[in-house]
Amino acid sequence: MTARAGARAADTVPPGLPGLEVRYSRVLTDACGAQWHYLDNLPDLADAADEALEGTVLAVHGNPTWSYLWRRLVAAGAEAGWRVVAVDQLEMGLSQRAADPADRYRTLPERVADLAAFTDALGLTGPVVTLGHDWGGVVSLGWAVDHPDRLAGVALLNTAVHQPDDVPLPAPLRLALAGPVLPLGTRSTRAFLETTLALARPALPAHVADAYRLPYRRADERAGIEGFVADIPAGREHPSRPELDRIAAGVAALKVPALMLWGPHDPIFSDRYLDDLVHRLPHAHVHRFADAGHLVAEDADWVGPVTGWLRTTVEPSGPAGPSAGPSAGPQPPFVPLWAALDARAADAAPAVLDLSAAEGSVARSVTWRALHRQVLRVAAGLHAIGVRRGDRVSLLVEPGPTLTALVYACLRIGAVVVVADAGLGVRGMTRAQRGAWPQFVVAQRKGLAAARTLGWPGVRISADALSPAVRRALGVEHELVDVARAGQGTDLPPEPGPLDEAAVLFTSGSTGPAKGVVYTHAQLSALRDVLAAHLDVGAGTGLVTGFAPFALLGPALGTRSVTPVMDVSRPRTLTARAVADAVRAADGDMVFLSPAAILNVVDTAGELDAADRDALARVRTFLSTGAPIGADLLAAAARLMPRATAHTPYGMTECLLVTDITGDGVRDAAAEPDDGVCVGVPLPGVEVLVSALDAGGAATGEPGRAPGVLGEVLVRAPHLKQRYDRLWLTDRAAERDTPPGRWHRTGDVGHLDDAGRLWIEGRLAHVLTTADGPLAPVGPEQHAERVAQVRRAAVVGVGPAGVQHAVAVVETLPATRRPGLAPARLAAAVRGACPVPLVAVLVAPRMPTDVRHNSKIDRARLAAWADGILTGGRVGAP
């Protein structure tokens, strides 16, 4: 256990530093006579028995910070049972300065040896968890690699252990290293220090910034800052480069628990370096704080996650391994997603149709034989240019035969497909690409231009033929046609297994920044199987899909498939005539659309001619999944396909199919008194529970199946996601207080009825907390929409939490031109229809919706708008 000898108390930090108590400040002299300052929470542990201590966190700062960076963890560590030792590196913080620091600087091998000398003098025997930031991350990892007998885990904030030879150093470091700039910016002035402090998001309070400046007020006190910058291994000939390479190789061999907490807005240690670390420590828990930057220890609430990780992952009493899978008993044999494609490799029947390349009314058709051959060629070609199992490949290609071949080629060689909808917008797409950090990106010209302009990562492969000049301008290294040619006749690598990662699918961004959802091959295959079994999809099915997640499942299901002509990033561009054209082209008998697309299909039904209506009359199954849709909209869509059985499955990116209900079921449910949208019963193999809401609107109840209980919906299924990508804390929240096994908290609220059907009543974030208890919005909204003049309604809360008042915001028919308070007659009708008291009724020309799902109302924005109007703010459209 951790030794207690060798340290003496010393008041080396002045009283009054924010967040840091003097009693933690200590000084130690090592065997070579070097004097070290460090923070130590040993005083908090003085009364604890040795066996009550779990170990020591050895925290190492970078440049130009000091041990003050770790003050919060020092104060919190004892409660978790961990000693925290936060050391000032030599020449830094309050540790010893050299007599003449201008003569030379300390190299990376020396700093790693220095840290070992410090821990030896401290008598630190283990177990030890290293924690590092900036160049302190490299030094701490050097200690970790050299002391495997004492190591219990490694934790990192933004840092790096490898600098690729073909990638320049980040621009700020290149500038800092440039000739006379180095001493001027780092030692003679405080420029480097002040620039680093300015990276905080939000800006540091003045007294906290002053605390960071404390050890570096004079030029001679800043020599260590200069030396640290000078020691950056910018090239292969740098004296510290061999040590950096040694540490990088050693890190890849570590098997201890690992944690990485990252600020993506870091101009120095970008996601490029996070991606490298993830490849070296693939078992690590990783979380990117969306709004944090280089000073992530100041920008984010990171201490709780670290102590939680220490308790649950590092301690011997923590979980021994992953939680149990979603279902017990023997599992069916794994059948890969491409099995149906292999089975039809000699089939000359159409597999995928491309309406975007139609000549007249005839669509371009790709046979099963041609698709299979192209998948094998592209797969082998991708492997030939360096795509390996586990590498991420971002696909920015419109749905059709090319995208289909790319998806199955990537899956076949074990590459991980990254799919982010262009409907996320420039900012959302950039966040997604940098968060996933793909090694390769395959795109058409528009996507390549965005990747070049916005600095998206990945070796660029063009799906289009380009001139040499355009290739150079867009930074394209390969064209897909050449990749396929290179794969002709080339053997493929071994197939991936069921537990290998297969895809990262990004959510819509309708409830915060879009999240990457990781699926394994087994989970995608389970999704295929439940869809095939539940909807009787087979080789004779013609699938028309305007819903992107399912557009690529045709070959996996053994069906011919086609995407209607539309902008897939804008579902409301889909028209009724485009659906009819797709049904004719594919001889389609199954139509799969998103709720947003259905709105416009119904609105454009008047454009259909007799031939269009005859084509739609051949459809036997119609599905809409995504946001739940009501009986009226479903009935309007069903009238266009009078022979079809209408289904409206409920799901989300994390679990694409959860429950299902037919059109008849929706109509029957609409006549019942329950609030919300009935989405049916769970599909075979799927389980649904509800965690009751407390008075504050939080889902704190024991998850169960009791009918009539309003709460958060929890799901479990074989096709449930593996995890969120590099969002460990989000994963923990989604699994919080769940029963044994792998469950997911959906963020949706609703209830189960006596028949086991699920009713969705809104999002947890949109629940009103009134004096009478929590109120879900969808039920009152449905009542408001029964008023003849109301097209859509949203019920939002205004006022303080716990005593909120309900406000109805309605979109009228015809649309109002003057947003604000509703006319008295309309307000009275809405109040009379709603079962809850309304403090006000407002009218808006159009409901604000999220970036991609036009059917999802942005209630948070509406609530702010309503509050502004009712408190005398300027009246304008929400």
pLDDT at 674 exceeding the cut of 60: yes
Residue 542 falls inside a structural domain: no
pLDDT at 857: 83
Is residue 71 domain-shared with residue 125, that is, in the same domain? yes
Residue 557 falls inside a structural domain: no
Is residue 295 domain-shared with residue 409, that is, in the same domain? no
pLDDT at 166: 77
Would you say 770 and 694 are in contact if contact means Cβ atoms under 8 Å apart? no
Residue 754 falls inside a structural domain: no
Is residue 364 domain-shared with residue 309, that is, in the same domain? no
pLDDT, one tens digit per residue, over 182-198 is 899 999 999 999 999 99
Is residue 267 domain-shared with residue 362, that is, in the same domain? no
d(C-alpha 88, C-alpha 106), whole Å: 14
Share above pLDDT 70 across residues of the chain, in percent, rounded to a whole number: 93
Least confident of 14-18, 208-212, 438-442: 14-18
The two structure tokens encoding residue 865:
């708008």
pLDDT at 654: 94
d(C-alpha 781, C-alpha 820), whole Å: 18
Instruction: Count Cβ neighbours within 10 Å for each residue of 666-692 and write b for 16 or more, e otherwise.
Output: beebbeeebbbbbbbbbbebbbbbbbb
pLDDT at 395: 96
Is residue 348 domain-shared with residue 465, that is, in the same domain? yes
- DSSP 3-state of 157: coil
Is residue 306 domain-shared with residue 347, that is, in the same domain? no
pLDDT at 461 exceeding the cut of 90: yes
Q: Give the DSSP per-residue string, 709-770.
A: --EEEEEE-TTS-SEETTBHHHHHHHTTTPPSS--EEEEEEEEE-TTS-EEEEEEGGG-EEE
pLDDT, one tens digit per residue, over 417-426 is 999 988 788 9
CATH code where residue 447 lies? 3.40.50.12780
End-to-end CA distance of the chain: 61
CATH code where residue 810 lies? 3.30.300.30
Mean pLDDT for 119-136 is 96
Mean pLDDT for 688-692 is 98
Would you say 515 and 435 are in contact if contact means Cβ atoms under 8 Å apart? no
pLDDT at 134 exceeding the cut of 90: yes
Residue 359 falls inside a structural domain: yes
d(C-alpha 199, C-alpha 797), whole Å: 36
pLDDT at 329 exceeding the cut of 70: no
Mean pLDDT for 800-812 is 95
pLDDT, one tens digit per residue, over 145-183 is 999 999 999 999 999 999 887 788 888 888 888 878 889
pLDDT at 318: 36
pLDDT at 572: 79
Is residue 19 domain-shared with residue 144, that is, in the same domain? yes
pLDDT at 510: 67
pLDDT at 322: 37
Q: Of 600, 616, 597, 443, nearest to 542 (Cα)?
A: 616
- Domain of residue 26 covers 8-164+238-314
The two structure tokens encoding residue 90:
């030599």
Of the pLDDT bands very low, low, confident and very high (cuts 50, 70, 90), residue 4 is very low
Residue 140 falls inside a structural domain: yes
Given 502, 521, 540, the domain boundary residue is 521
Is residue 242 domain-shared with residue 96, that is, in the same domain? yes
CATH code where residue 16 lies? 3.40.50.1820
Is residue 304 domain-shared with residue 358, that is, in the same domain? no
pTM here is: 0.91
Residue with the two structure tokens 């669509």: 363
pLDDT at 331: 61
pLDDT at 850 exceeding the cut of 70: no
pLDDT, one tens digit per residue, over 523-566 is 999 999 999 999 888 888 999 988 766 778 899 999 999 989 88
Q: Say how many domains are in the chain.
A: 3
Query: Between 858 and 336, whose confidence is greater?
Result: 336
Is residue 395 domain-shared with residue 426, that is, in the same domain? yes
pLDDT at 415 exceeding the cut of 80: yes
Mean pLDDT for 720-737 is 94
Of the pLDDT bands very low, low, confident and very high (cuts 50, 70, 90), residue 7 is very low
Is residue 340 domain-shared with residue 275, that is, in the same domain? no
User: Side by side, which strands form the sheet with 723-724?
Assistant: 476-479, 459-462, 440-443, 392-396, 416-419, 501-506, 516-520, 723-724
Given 457, 491, 521, the domain boundary residue is 521
- Mind spelling out the 3-state secondary structure of 608-675? CCHHHHHHHCCCCEEEECECCCCHHHHHHHHHHCCCCEEECCEEECCEEEEEECEHHHHHHHHCCCCC
Is residue 783 domain-shared with residue 875, that is, in the same domain? yes
pLDDT at 1: 34
d(C-alpha 220, C-alpha 798), whole Å: 57
pLDDT, one tens digit per residue, over 245-297 is 999 999 999 999 999 999 999 999 999 999 999 999 999 999 999 999 999 99
Residue 200 falls inside a structural domain: no
pLDDT at 866: 93
Share above pLDDT 90 across residues of the chain, in percent, rounded to a whole number: 73
Residue with the two structure tokens 């799927």: 686
Residue 103 falls inside a structural domain: yes
Given 314, 347, 382, the domain boundary residue is 314
pLDDT, one tens digit per residue, over 736-784 is 899 999 999 999 999 999 999 999 999 999 999 999 999 999 999 999 9
Report the chain's mean pLDDT, rounded to a whole number. Answer: 90
Of the pLDDT bands very low, low, confident and very high (cuts 50, 70, 90), residue 567 is confident
Residue with the two structure tokens 């169960």: 704
C-alpha R_g of the chain: 30
